[in-house]
Amino acid sequence: MADSTLVFIVLGLTLAAFVWGRFRYDLVALSALLGSVILGLVPGEEAFLGFGHPAVITVAAVLVLSRGFERSGVVDVIAQQVLKVGERLFLQLAALTGTVVVLSGFMNNVGALALLLPVAMRLAREHDTSPSLLLMPLAFGSLLGGLTTLIGTPPNIIIASYRGSVIGESFGLFSFSPVGVAVALAGLAFILLIGWRLVPQRAGKASTEEMFDTANYLVELEVDEEAKANGWTLRDLHEALEETIPVLAVVRDDRRRAGHAFHGELRTGDILLLEAGPEEMKLLEDKAGLRVGKEPEEGDETAQQAETDDDTREAAMPAKDPAAQGRAHDEEDEKGSKKEKKKKSVDTEGLQLVEAVVRNDSMMVNRTVGQLRLHNQFGLHLVAVARDGGRLKQRLRDIRFRPGDVLLLQGGESELSESLATLGCLPLASRNLSLGQPRLLLVSLTIFAAAILAILLGVLPAAVALATAALASLLVGVLPLREGYQAIDGPVLVLLGAMIPVGEALETSGGAALIADALLGWGGQWPVVVTLVGLFVITMMLSDIINNAAAAVLMAPIAASLARGFEVSVDPFLMAVAVSASCAFLTPIGHQSNTLVMGPGGYRFGDYWRMGLPLEVVVVAVAIPMILMVWPL
């Protein structure tokens, strides 16, 4: 069987696996690489050269630098300015989307989105705006901003490196800017004037406060003398229940201790503050002997009626002497004080609750609470999970997490930031919790500016300059070493390192030439620009269903073969692939930015194309003329 046929079989299976989504994209890419080696399409000694490719090193360095921006206080500076825009929706959209477009040009676009996502959620809450109106424009803006520079998005880095292998000279840092800036500005104008009106408004339902209104679910259960749970630890309680019901706090002697930090034994008189529905409460009563305390709960009509009858009887009693009235007032005050104290014990203040969204590359994906050992391993309690804009009602232990899920977690303030980073979760908006980092903004920006200057002056290649900047950030303390490693997106690097040799095999086997010949035969009678538009649209559609970096790796050799077939410059074809591979606006799976806003925005799969399709039309209409103007055939 011809090598080109084998390559098509490998790529066909790879694309099918990408679309299926059963296995993570890095595992699929690695399987494709090893399969190509076994079939003889990639020489064994060259199998892992892709992991040392300049594109892989550049992406890793940009990820580290982006995390340094996050830690250095960029989010605080931005939030202070963006939050001043007021309650007009247009100004909110302009501030958020415009800022993310600028940031995405100089840092990883997912990192830029991560900085502004909490700001957007806060704006939505403060001004009673539906988050769905803000978050999709924010996600699309992060994709548009990545088009503007070499380091804005992995496809630009891949295409620049591929050009170097084809003609001996890579694209420069701002080679993408003329086309990218024009497309980004046109896309931004469309989003602000028309696009946001096409986004479905998930009022209330998509609000994180609505999803996690803990006051509607909190109950207080008392440990009495006859309770089975008397003398148990909270771990014993969970084992007896065979269910992870979050104990938010234990109240003892009017002192409240957070559930995640309570390791002692329960005693008579202890009050447990839990999140539990009717089924869980019955389970707690049957297996642990825990019952609702004597103090009436809201909605307990019998207790409320009894209290009303007492008040009526007191009002009907004859007037007492002043001393007796004084004692009655004292008793009333004491009674009111006890009620107030009881109410305060239900307050969620100080419980260190934080909302976070599950990233695509999170270790939580397709796993349960028990498999992750959230409490024992990370010191976190899972309180609730929301998906598609609504809170999941099923048992917490049965939930398998998906990318885009919004979690309500409880944990210690000092460990939360590190635990969330390790798990691969992005904090959305904290409750009485600050995840702030040291303000090393000036140092971080100086190091980055020095790297950019070295690239522009030709002193160092982009990969070397950015890797040096990343190392300097770690050495001077902008970013701790552990966070530096956590910032490196392992799955993306494995995807790139594995797919680069497979993409080269597509070219060396003659597969890319066969595809190009077929396209030439189909469009040979048409102007070259028609084929260019076809390449642009095909790549854009491919990026909507597979990772954009993989789309760029696969389409780059086809673009080069098409240019050779037409005997024209390769630059417009490569630039078309770079732009189109980063414009995944039709689905939530095409890019991490789209997935990250799905849960907080309450979006459904079919919501994205409503604004995404006309936005893609705008991108094609602007990009093609600009490419031909800046990079003529």
pLDDT at 536: 95
Amino acid at 349: E
Q: Which of 53-57, 410-414, 573-577 has the lowest mean pLDDT?
A: 410-414
Residue 625 falls in which region: left (phi positive, over 0), alpha (psi -120 to 50) or beta: alpha
Instruction: Report residue 628's pLDDT band, with 50, 70 and 90 as the boundaries.
Output: very high
> Who contacts 382 (Cβ-Cβ below 8 Å, separation ≥6)?
244, 246, 369, 374, 396, 407, 408, 409
- Coil/strand/helix, residue 365: coil
Query: What pLDDT shows up at residue 289?
Result: 82
**Residue 17 to residues 22, 24, 146, 331, 605: CA-CA distances in angstroms?**
7, 9, 27, 72, 19
The dihedrals phi and psi of 427, each to the nearest 5 degrees, come to -60, 130
Q: Are 137 and 606 in contact (CB under 8 A)?
A: no
pLDDT for the residue numbered 302: 37
Q: How confident is the model at residue 324 (pLDDT cuts 50, 70, 90)?
A: very low
Q: Tell me the one-letter amino acid at 112.
A: A
* pLDDT given at position 40: 92
Q: Exposed (0-12), middle (13-18) or buried (19+): which is 235, by Cβ within 10 Å?
A: exposed
Distance CA 383, CA 258 (A): 13
Q: Between 11 and 128, where is the model more confident?
A: 11
Tens of pLDDT, residue by residue over 418-436, are: 788 788 888 875 443 344 4
Whether the pLDDT of residue 38 is over 90: the answer is yes
Q: What is the pLDDT of residue 514?
A: 87
pTM for this model (two decimals): 0.72
Query: How far from 187 is each of 95, 147, 497, 542, 590, CA to CA, in Å?
Result: 15, 11, 31, 20, 18
Q: Choose among 516, 570, 511, 521: nearest CA to 538.
A: 516
Sign of CA dihedral 227, 233, 237, 240: negative
Percentage of the residues of the chain whose pLDDT score is greater than 90: 28
pLDDT > 60? residue 211:
no
Radius of gyration from C-alpha coordinates of the chain: 29
Beta strands, E only, 459-615: none
160-164: long-range contacts (C-beta < 8 A, 24 or more apart)?
160/55, 160/462, 161/53, 161/54, 161/55, 161/58, 162/556, 162/557, 162/560, 162/574, 163/570, 163/571, 163/574
Classify 398 as helix, strand or coil: helix
Classify residue 87 as exposed, middle or buried by CB count within 10 Å of its CB (0-12, 13-18, 19+).
exposed
Section 53-72 average pLDDT: 86
**What order of strands is seen across the sheet that includes strand 380-387?**
390-391, 380-387, 406-411, 353-358, 425-431
- Between CA 66 and CA 112 the distance in angstroms is 8
Read off the pLDDT of residues 246-281 as tens digits, 9 standing for 90 and up: 787 888 877 777 777 787 888 888 888 777 665 676
CB atoms within 10 A of CB 197: 11
Any idea what the Cα angle at residue 299 is, between residues 294 and 305, rounded to 5°?
A: 70
Measure CA 248 to chain center: 26
Summarised one tens digit per residue, pLDDT across range 65-123 is: 888 877 777 656 776 777 788 778 899 999 999 999 998 998 888 878 887 888 888 88
**pLDDT-derived band of residue 621, with 50, 70 and 90 as boundaries?**
very high
Q: How confident is the model at residue 304 (pLDDT cuts 50, 70, 90)?
A: very low
pLDDT of residue 279: 64
pLDDT tens-place string over residues 140-199: 999 999 999 998 899 999 999 999 988 888 999 899 999 999 999 999 999 999 999 998
Q: How far is CA 164 from CA 171, 238, 473, 497, 502, in A?
A: 7, 59, 28, 17, 18
Write down the pLDDT at residue 549.
87
